[in-house]
Amino acid sequence: MPHSLPISFITPLADVHVYEKDEAKFELEISREPKSFRWLKGTQELSNNDKFEIQADGKQHTLVVKAARYEDEAKYMFEAEDKRTSGKLIIKGKMSWCLCILSHRNIIIWTPVTEECECLLKLWLCLLKALGKHLQTSTQPHNHNLPNWNNIVFTSCKCNFLSGIRLEFIKPIKDVTVKERETAEFSVELSHDKIPVVWYRNEVRLHPKGDLYFTVKLQNYTAVEKDEAILSCELSKAAAEVKWFKDGNEIFASRNVLFQSDGRKRMLIIKKSAKKDRGAYTCNCGTDKTTAELNIEEPPVEFTKPLQDQTVVEGHRAEFTCIVSKETFSVKWMKDGNELESGDKYELVSDGKKRSLVIKASELKDEGGYVVVIGETRASADLTVSAKLKVITPLRDTEVKEGQEVVLNCEVNIDGAKAKWLKNEETLWQVSIRVIGERLINNPFVSTGLLNFKYFYTHKSFHSVQEQVLQQLLVATLKREKDVQFLNLCPLPAVPQIKTTDQSYVTDAGKPIVLAVPYSAYPQAEADWLYDNQSVSKDNIYTSAERTEYRLKDPKKSDQGRYKIVIKNKHGQGEAFINLDVIDVPEAPLNVDVGNVTKFGCTVSWDPPVSDGGSPITSYIVELRDRTSVKWSPVQVTKAGELSAIINDVIENKEYIFRVKAENKAGEGKPSAASRPVKIMDPIGEDWTVNYVYYKISIPVSLTWETPLKNGGSIITGYIIERCEEGTNKWLRSQICVQLLFLTSLPVFQVSGLKYGTKYNYRVFAENAAGVSEPSNVIGPLLADDPHLIVPQPLTIRVPITGYPTPVAKWTFGEKELTTADERVSLMTKSTFTELMITPINVIAAPSAPKDFKVLEVTRQHVHLSWEAPEHDGGSPLTGYQVEKRDVSRKTWPCGDTVPELKCQVTGLIEGEWYAYRVRALNRLGASRPCKPTDEIQAVDPIVFIVILSSEAPEIQLDAKLLAGLTAKAGSKIELPAEVKGKPEPRVKWTKADLVLKPDDRVSIDTKPGHSTVTVAKTKRDDSSTYIIEATNSSGRATATVDVNILGEKSLQSRNVMSISV
């Protein structure tokens, strides 16, 4: 008997090493099948469940441990009858002990956990490594020869402990404040010595200078099958050697797998990825390692060649064919919602990427739509089956006497079938079969009966060559699908019969068109075409025995209208009408204007054209040209409903002229009138001083103001005055004051059209070639019948001087010397300037700006602000304060709420958004200048750290080659790399002018911790612009700019500029 032999282990159990969460498998082979067996973990017997799977296949036995964890580490045993074998499960990549800070002073010692400790809060500082020589490394805590130590359990990221030795911070870590570029030092003191610690900064482990580690870790990567897959990381040292592993097994370079080193960067490149390349890839430098998952996806499902409609004759073979994007894709063929299968009726063919459906011996019932399906993608086409031609009533032999009339009849089953009449194999006439009642007949000459041909046999007169040919008895043959019959034929004289009713034609202007009217007549008729009751040129009219045509080689809008066609012969005439619509291009758009000019671009607006050319406008094309050039270039295309466009593809400080074209189905219309030249630069900013003087001697009101301190790089061309009634926010433009170049005094202007007894607010804008400035401070509300003088600020005149020793300055007004004896006069002389200040008397001025503006508290919903009163109230008691809030995405400050106190809570914030704040003081005159605004503040709840480490504002370092700008040749590839530092890790955004860059088929953005690069392939002239990188974190914001100039061949030669590819 086989069972009488003792059991022996051919392949006993062995130790199994796996990574955490991987599957562990114990396998063995015995000499024969046992009567009974069991698996044990220590002394616990195992059974099939969610954690363990026991497999037995004859002599082969397997135990599978699913998603292995550290608590699964143990000795596993297989017991069969009286024989045993065992092996250990070891989880790789662990540390022996973990120290985790639970408060500022207390530390709990845990059992073994992973290198990246899964603590209750990731903000806790994890101190890893063994506890020196007092605590030896081991996977079994009970082996440590330390008294009074009990196991501490770590389960599901929660710390459940029975008891343990408590370490204390004698000197805990404290916040450190230093100036920029000074050395900052953190220190702690523990209750036990010789305990190694690990330092972290914002959850990133810090390494001593000179250590080898990964500064940039591998990132999970997803590639499409057969595409290139790239895994990259960065080391702290450029000369370090690394090894690559897949699922724990080392991999080596091959034709398909490449290893690359670029400075500190290490890359693994798989040229043509396949499903077998899926897995966990690890890069190991000896002292550190990083792991990421590579996922390979199937290529997208699509039809590279769709189905085409098919038309076949009944009984013939029909075939639908398509081409799919991958050979392994299987398709389903459907008709009327039912899947088709190969058989007597259908044949399904798969040849490489080609998929075909063959319909054998098509029938009329096979007509309809056919669909081919791959997953969620489908394509469809229609099958049309034509009936087979049959003769229902054949021709019959007929005998007649000379001079008698003969009528021959024939009937077939297909409406519209073509027929040919022959005499002794010579073609005499071609006709079409038509329907009479419910029967199909062939009748080219008469309209009654079946197929009728009448012939008069005579030897006397012949009216035409055709009648001479037909003087004898004719025998014709009808041929179609091998059906042949004979008949006698002779045409009859007939009045022209028009075969169509009124027709309508539509064509594009300039596109040749043929207007045709089919008819029947014997003998052949002549045609006359009339437009507006006037005959058209005979040169464009072509008339045959079956149709007349009017051919327009270059139709214009003036050719549009109703045409009358008169067809006549000696027996009579017929009339037909054709309506012709000619679609022309649209007319030019109107009122093209350019506004919102900044150094990043401008906005072009226009009105639609008077006429759309007879077809709806489909788009507008905006064109520009440099003022020094004559060539127009398209810069943007908008939809039909959009009457403005934001133009960003321009260069700062250059002047451009714009125009707009409308486009419809017929093409592009004429361009609009050119706009005024516009210089691309920032308009006048907020850094200006506008002082109003208001004087009222009944209506109208006189306003005066000081000119801005800065003109934005272009002379001021005028001022715009606006007024607003108190209690409303509707500002009305009163008048435009033109600035004179020779103006030597302050601008003065009268505002008329005011309502008596109404209070108004006033403000002024300055305007230059770049556009309109921000508004001045608001003055008012002022009563329209309240005459008084308002001067917001003292008159100050400062004159630069030089000389040594310092000169003595003397000020005079007319012939009178000004001295400080007058309490209104203040004089000051320094080594570089002398200044005169005259203080107004009995006037009301705007107050000075509030002082000591602070942010007391910030949350996701509100912010608390406080400030001190201004130094002076302008001669009128303060009425309150106006708090203003600006979203960082906006350039202007909207009017804010008015509060009476020196503090305010601003609500209505959007969580995560960035805002800036400022405040103005108010008196009878109006608002003061704003105080210095706050930095941009994010609306988030404050984060409380148990251990607070230092943070860094963002810092951007560009390659030295980019500091002076980048010039490259059109068609080349450029890269704009930048090193980005900051803690926490900043958010990075690239913009081209004020347009946020997004990846597309030419632009790619590679942003990783510490580094960001923009790559532009196949550069164009339109890529010339200023590129801006912005980095933001909770500690601040930083920006850097790169000017890129892309030149064509001619430009490079004329400027002698070297082409650079970065």
Give per-residue pLDDT as tens, 503-536: 888 888 888 889 999 988 877 888 899 998 888 8
Determine whether 850 is exposed, middle or buried from the number of CB atoms within 10 Å of its CB (0-12, 13-18, 19+): buried
Q: What is the pLDDT of residue 1?
A: 38
Query: Is the Cβ–Cβ distance between 656 and 624 less than 8 Å?
Result: yes
Most trustworthy range by pLDDT among 427-431, 547-551, 885-889: 547-551
Residue 490 has pLDDT above 50, yes or no: no
Average pLDDT over residues 384-392: 78
Determine, yes or no, domain membership for 685: no
Query: Is the Cβ–Cβ distance between 703 and 751 less than 8 Å?
Result: yes
Q: What is the pLDDT of residue 736?
A: 58
Last residue of a domain, one of 70, 92, 114: 92
Q: Are residues 256 and 276 in the same domain?
A: yes
What's the mean per-residue pLDDT of the chain? Answer: 76
> Would you place residue 219 in the very low, low, confident or very high pLDDT band (cuts 50, 70, 90)?
very high
Q: What is the Cα–Cα distance from 1001 to 1017, expressed in whole angstroms?
A: 8
Q: Are residues 121 and 154 in the same domain?
A: yes
Determine, yes or no, domain membership for 684: no
pLDDT in tens, 720-746: 888 888 888 888 876 555 544 333 345
Q: What is the pLDDT of residue 735?
A: 56
Last residue of a domain, one of 173, 198, 223: 198
- Give me 864's structure tokens: 């608390």
Q: Are residues 648 and 700 in the same domain?
A: no
CA distances to 433, 446, 467, 615, 994 from 521, in Å = 17, 11, 15, 39, 73
Q: Of residues 8 and 756, which shows the higher confidence score?
A: 8
How many other CB atoms are there within 10 angstroms of residue 962's CB atom? 20
Determine, yes or no, domain membership for 845: no
Q: What is the pLDDT of residue 944?
A: 56
Q: Measure CA 48 to chain center.
A: 52
**Lateral strand order in the sheet of 332-335:** 310-313, 377-386, 368-374, 332-335, 338-339
Q: Are residues 746 and 821 in the same domain?
A: no
Q: Are residues 438 and 473 in the same domain?
A: yes
Q: Of residues 851 and 1034, which shows the higher confidence score?
A: 851
pLDDT in tens, 42-101: 888 999 998 999 999 888 999 999 988 888 888 899 998 878 899 999 887 543 333 433
Residue 666 has pLDDT above 80, yes or no: yes
> Would you place residue 773 in the very low, low, confident or very high pLDDT band (cuts 50, 70, 90)?
confident
Total tally of structural domains belonging to the chain: 11
Q: What is the pLDDT of residue 880?
A: 92
Q: Of 40-54, 245-259, 480-494, 852-866, which gets the smallest average pLDDT? A: 480-494
Average pLDDT over residues 595-603: 88
pLDDT in tens, 830-881: 888 898 888 765 566 778 889 999 999 999 889 999 999 998 887 788 889 9
Q: Are residues 927 and 1007 in the same domain?
A: no
Average pLDDT over residues 566-593: 89
Residue 283 has pLDDT above 50, yes or no: yes
Determine, yes or no, domain membership for 790: no
CATH number of the domain residue 81 falls in: 2.60.40.10
Average pLDDT over residues 679-688: 63
Q: Of 1-5, 624-628, 688-692, 809-813, which gets the smallest average pLDDT? A: 688-692
Q: Are residues 106 and 58 in the same domain?
A: no
Q: What is the Cα–Cα distance from 334 to 98, expressed in whole angstroms?
A: 63
- Residues listed for the chain: 1062
Containing domain of residue 1048, as a range?
Answer: 952-1055
Query: Is the Cβ–Cβ distance between 408 and 397 less than 8 Å?
Result: no
The amino acid occupying position 834 is T
Q: Of 27-36, 94-103, 736-745, 798-807, which gets the smallest average pLDDT? A: 94-103
Last residue of a domain, one of 782, 810, 825: 782
Q: Are residues 576 and 672 in the same domain?
A: no
Q: What is the pLDDT of residue 786?
A: 47
Q: Are residues 108 and 63 in the same domain?
A: no
Q: Of residues 635 and 494, which shows the higher confidence score?
A: 635
Average pLDDT over residues 780-796: 62
CA distances to 410, 411, 440, 958 from 396, in Å = 9, 12, 17, 98
Q: What percent of the chain has pLDDT over 70?
A: 77
Q: Of residues 282 and 451, which shows the higher confidence score?
A: 282
Q: Rg (Cα) of the chain, in Å, rounded? A: 47
Peptide bond just before 870 cis, omega within 30 deg: no
Residue 171 has pLDDT above 90, yes or no: no
Query: Is the Cβ–Cβ distance between 283 and 233 less than 8 Å?
Result: yes
Q: Are residues 963 and 1016 in the same domain?
A: yes
> Would you place residue 785 in the very low, low, confident or very high pLDDT band (cuts 50, 70, 90)?
low
Residue 808 has pLDDT above 80, yes or no: yes
pLDDT in tens, 1001-1015: 899 998 988 889 999
Q: What is the pLDDT of residue 904?
A: 92
Q: What is the pLDDT of residue 107?
A: 38
Q: Are residues 506 and 483 in the same domain?
A: no
Q: Which of 384, 388, 385, 406 is nearest to 397 (CA)?
A: 406
Q: Of residues 128 and 280, which shows the higher confidence score?
A: 280
Q: What is the pLDDT of residue 425?
A: 63
3-state secondary structure of 1051: helix
Q: Which of 248, 296, 292 is nearest to 22 (CA)?
A: 248
Q: What is the pLDDT of residue 358?
A: 93
Query: Is the Cβ–Cβ distance between 440 and 392 less than 8 Å?
Result: yes
Query: Is the Cβ–Cβ distance between 1027 and 990 less than 8 Å?
Result: yes
Query: Is the Cβ–Cβ distance between 458 and 470 less than 8 Å?
Result: no
pLDDT in tens, 393-408: 777 777 777 777 777 6
Q: What is the pLDDT of residue 780?
A: 75
Paired strand residues for 355 = 322, 350
Q: Are residues 451 and 518 in the same domain?
A: no
Query: Is the Cβ–Cβ distance between 371 and 337 less than 8 Å?
Result: no
Report phi then psi at 960, rounded to 5: -60, -30
Q: What is the pLDDT of residue 5?
A: 64
Long-range pairs, 365-372, Cβ under 8 A, ≥24:
366/318, 368/335, 368/336, 369/335, 369/336, 370/307, 370/320, 370/333, 370/334, 370/335, 371/333, 371/334, 371/335, 372/303, 372/307, 372/320, 372/322, 372/331, 372/332, 372/333, 372/334
CA distances to 182, 183, 184, 1037 from 179, in Å = 6, 8, 9, 18
